[in-house]
A and B are shown apart, each in its own frame.
Chain A
Amino acid sequence: MADNAAQRPNILWYCTDQQRHDTIGALGNPHINTPQLDAFCETGVAFDNAYCQSPICTPSRASFLTGRYPATTHVHRNGNAYFPAGERLVTKIFSDAGYDCGLVGKLHLSSAKGYEKRTDDGYRLFQWSHHPHPDLDPAHHAYHQWLEKEKGVDAADLYSTVTGFYAEGVPAELHQTTWVTEAAIRFVEQKRSGPWLLSLNPFDPHPPFDPPPDYLARYAPGDLPPPLFRPSDLERQKAFRGIAQQTIDAMDPMGEMPTEKLSAEEARKTAYSPPKQFNGQVVKAAYYAMIELIDHEFGRLLRALDAMGELENTIVVFHSDHGEMLGDHGLLYKGCRFFEGLVHVPLIVSWPGHIQENVRSRALVELVDIAPTLLEATGLDVPGDMQGRSLWPLMTGTSDLNTHKPHVVSEFNDALGSAAISAPSHGTMYFDGRMKHIVYHGTDLGELYDLKVDPGEFENLFDEPAVQEQRLELMRRHFDALMATSSPGIERTSIY
């Protein structure tokens, strides 16, 4: 244990699953009700331009938990057999430095079918619940054990009432999101001599879209803006039919909601396979309601920590691993695509008295930057093989709040397996804050958007003759940026 471990701040690291950037009231969405997150934003730095390193769970999480890009971790796929032993999680570094580390919720660094093999993750508390549904090894499903032991509820019975990708979900008091807060409070309450780090990874607002009934009732779908969609999207998306995405054929996002009731087994599968028709406003209402429950529980947790006197010396990070199409361009869920809804995520950091409060940073930042930020904030060395760049100078005001990186990248390297896709997809994105350049490697497909004039990403300029000279320059920068995500590897000790 480091000598001065006891003085280091605690770390509360709250990462939701599949939450888009535009889902926090105070950050510009008047349609969603997030009073707790709004108040939280006032206590720290909100990053308006944070991007995930992959639009898919496992590569994204492996990246921000190691501070290294997927090209370096080699963790590209959901469902991969194991997490490479040579990769070091930042939670392990904290554990070695004397932190008492806990995890509640999902981890998803390797296949979570049945159960997830643990790696040398540094977590002493490991309350695993990949998703709330009852198809996981029951012995490993901490949320279900809580339901059974403390709530007297049979998880299979409870979830048998959720009958589709859109449904009234389990009551808030039995919800996985609620359990996350309960387990977190219990962990923090324990006596310890050093600091703690707590990773809280609820499954929501990942589909199925099944908020508690009373939360669902708070949103009138007709009052919500419809998804970003033009009829031309249906034709435009046909070219991407061979690209791995969960919605294979774009749909009119203002269609009818499916009426059929699914079995519990079929409903569970809707977590990863979207419906053939949907109404974007209805889906958005449920999605917002799920986030409102997260908001409520996140706020409840912060108040509980405050009451325990644990908040004043705690760095709190809130973000998501990737986004959700939510009907934009006729697509639901995720895949090898790089629309704003999918790769642009919320990221808010607070540590009152130590970093700036109630500010918003326009800097381009990446989730890979979180790990080195936390190390620098706690006074620990950032390993030389960590690729992210600390946000500490921005947050503390020692560098310009709005300047960090010239570009951000994201990639999909066969990240999703799908029976519907014949060949694996490989796509990469380069975004410089205005131009977003996307290449689907091994195909003729690409996308190029000028977000300054086309923030909705409707006008794909990739094949426009007039921009080819500019695109060549973007292609070169894109190529350079990708090359930089691959670690130079082992240090040189001699000239040959």
Chain B
Amino acid sequence: MSPPRLCQDTRDVRTEVGFADAEFDAFIEVGARAAATEVCAARSKPVAVREFADMSKPAPKNLLFLLSDNHARGYLGCYGNPLARTPNLDRLAARGARFTNAYSASPLCCPARAALATGRFPHQTGYWDNAIPFDGHVMSWMRRLRDAGHTVSSIGKLHFRETSVANGFSAELLPMHILEGKGGVHMLLRAVDRGEPVNAGQWHLYMDRSGVGTAPYQAFDSEITTAAIAWLEAHANNDGKPWVLFVSYPSAHPPFSVPAEFYRESDEAAVILPDDWQTPHAEDHAAIAHLRRIMNSQPMSAADEPALRRVLAGYLALTEHLDTEIGQVLAALEDSGRAADTRVVYTSDHGELAGAHGLFGKSCMFEESIGVPLILAGPDVPEGAVIDAPVSHVDLCPTILEGAGLDVDENDVEDLAVSLWAELKTSGTQRAVFAEYHAAGSKSGSFMLRQGHWKLLYHVGMQPQLFDLESDPHELCDLGPNHPKAKELDRKLRAICDPEAVDARAKSDQRHWIEHWGGADRITSEALMIYTPPPGQPAEVE
């Protein structure tokens, strides 16, 4: 029996009640989940969110947007992980607002990033997967700001189709896009009879390569940091024109091969394994069984425990490396003298399962996969605010446009995106947050609707799932479709979109791109990429 993990709410306790580390650890050792939850409940509601926007101060002009890849909420100190070494992000959260229930719009790189850029979900844009990425046809908030006279620069990973003035940046530095404008075409095959091929390398990417070592992403991270510091030195004080710097790291995407300076062998023993890392696969929901097969996820037994511990220790080390890089950029912002009129956003495109449910990667609707850290800081953001209301990545588009003082209408924002300034003002609303997924590892479209502590997962052609995140934060107990809450959320989901029609449209679009790239046979015959390489590097294939 593995030790119980912390519930979502408990993690929040640490920063909110100001436990010292030792006290916190002791608190955890008690294992008093019920007590912790009670503290949580008591603390989370009255967290005094100060009235947003001190109107006597001029609104900040600039934006530093820090994006990482594959950084799960549970792997930051400020989100309650006592082993995480993320002091820079923790400090950022302490001087701003932290969203404890933020969601990726679609848990895979390209669809998540397209939604981040456009403020729209895949069914609203058609950017479904890693072969149909953002290409600038739909308006991005970056382009809106650039057209409004802001300097908008990106550094690092974008994962759009290609560098283009239409993406919305004034300049793309060190841009990383899908490989050769083509991307992960194998996942398109989900839309045809033969189905998506098994990505055999995924399992080994985690289980065989985690630990001390080198991976191409970390050198690229450092280049990005150097470029970001140089950009801030050169441009932060330029001619008074407002600017956006979008700094985007490929970390903490696997492989979790990290330099010895970050890797701690002691972590291997200290990490708490997910409750269900050895879940008997026969109990899987059909959608998860399919994901497991496509990602080549092997059943794990006691013999696999050392390797799994290396995965988690490697992930901790990689997130520390990421935090170190981000810390340098935040220091450069301070050095530039512009911190007082610059807002900072930190988030990640999606999470990482890191062994939860015996899975690695993302591509599903479990919290570890689709949950993301989201921190918003700046002179007009309440210090130390913790927002528990569910929010989405698409909310950042109206948040940023409104923050810049632009007129926002239906061309910029559709109904599903809500300005986070409103969330900050009201300490969070009870709206339902939507997400969807139509890409690698999914046989048919999956849809999420989260309202309060309830979470409905609707899978086209399969049994819906309902989880109560309050009593079951790790989604181990599916309450099924007959629960009254499941029925209520199902109605709300159908008011947003027709899941069957959206699934059909996604697959129809995917078939279009299969033909575009020469047909299913041609794609099947091509090597399957394990992860997108940084610019100038060869792709690793099976």
Contact = CB atoms under 8 A, between A and B. Distances in A.
B204 interface: no
Nearest to B513: A137
Contacts of A190: 409-411
Given A138-B509, A190-B410, A192-B409, A124 B166 contact: no
Interface in A100-121: 114-115, 117-121
B30 to A, nearest CB: 52
B156 interface: no
B261 to A, nearest CB: 42
A2 to B, nearest CB: 12
B505 A138 contact: yes
Interface in A5-58: none
Size bracket of the A interface: 20 to 34
B508 interface: yes
Interface in B95-145: 125-128, 132, 135-139, 144
Interface in B504-529: 505, 508-509, 512-513, 516
B81 to A, nearest CB: 38
Interface in A285-338: none
A161 B181 CA distance: 34
A413 B412 CA distance: 39
A256 B137 CA distance: 43
A470 interface: no
A128 interface: yes
Nearest to B516: A114
B139 A137 contact: no
Given A118-B136, A137-B512, A191-B409, A95 B126 contact: no
B166 A120 contact: yes
Nearest to A95: B147
Nearest to B166: A118
B164 interface: yes
Nearest to A125: B411
Interface residues of B, number: 26
Contacts, number: 59
A126 interface: yes
Interface string B2-32: 0000000000000000000000000000000
B147 A124 contact: yes
Contact of A192 (B164, B407, B513, B516): B407
Given A138-B505, A192-B409, A115 B147 contact: no
Given A119-B165, A137-B512, A139-B132, A124 B137 contact: no
A138 B127 CA distance: 11
A419 interface: no
A193 interface: yes
Contacts of B139: 124, 126
Contact of A138 (B136, B164, B409, B512): B512
B478 to A, nearest CB: 33
A235 B411 CA distance: 56
Contacts of B513: 137
A191 B409 CA distance: 8
Given A122-B147, A124-B144, A124-B411, A139 B164 contact: no
Interface in A129-186: 137-140, 148
B181 to A, nearest CB: 10
Contacts of B125: 139
A466 interface: no
Contacts of A191: 409
Contacts of B407: 192-193
A453 interface: no
A85 interface: yes
A95 B512 CA distance: 34
Is chain A's binding surface mostly helix, strand, loop or mixed?
loop
Given A122-B147, A139-B509, A140-B137, A117 B164 contact: yes
A140 B126 contact: yes
Contacts of B137: 115, 118, 126, 128, 139-140
A138 B410 contact: no
B414 to A, nearest CB: 12
Contacts of A124: 139, 144, 147, 411-412
A117 B136 contact: yes
A194 B411 CA distance: 15
A193 B135 CA distance: 29
A148 B498 CA distance: 13
Contacts of A137: 126, 509, 512-513, 516
Nearest to A117: B164
A139 B127 contact: yes
B411 A115 contact: no
Of A85, A119, A138, most B-chain CB atoms within 10 Å: A138
A139 B516 CA distance: 14
Interface in B231-251: none
Interface string A457-471: 000000000000000
Contacts of A128: 137
A436 B342 CA distance: 62
A117 B135 contact: yes
Nearest to A92: B147
Contacts of A138: 126, 505, 508-509, 512
Nearest to A120: B165
B150 to A, nearest CB: 13
Contacts of B409: 190-192
B444 to A, nearest CB: 18
A115 B135 contact: yes
Interface in B488-542: 505, 508-509, 512-513, 516
A223 to B, nearest CB: 43
Interface in B407-455: 407, 409-412
Interface string A371-390: 00000000000000000000
A114 B181 CA distance: 13
Contacts of A96: 147
A159 to B, nearest CB: 14
Contacts of A193: 407
Closest 4 CB pairs of A and B: A139-B126, A118-B166, A120-B165, A118-B136
20 contacts: A95-B147, A117-B135, A117-B166, A118-B136, A118-B137, A118-B166, A121-B166, A122-B147, A124-B139, A124-B147, A126-B137, A128-B137, A137-B126, A137-B512, A138-B508, A138-B509, A139-B509, A191-B409, A192-B409, A193-B407
Interface of B: 125-128, 132, 135-139, 144, 147, 164-166, 407, 409-412, 505, 508-509, 512-513, 516
Given A95-B147, A117-B136, A190-B411, 7 more contacts: A115-B135, A118-B137, A119-B166, A137-B126, A137-B509, A137-B513, A193-B407
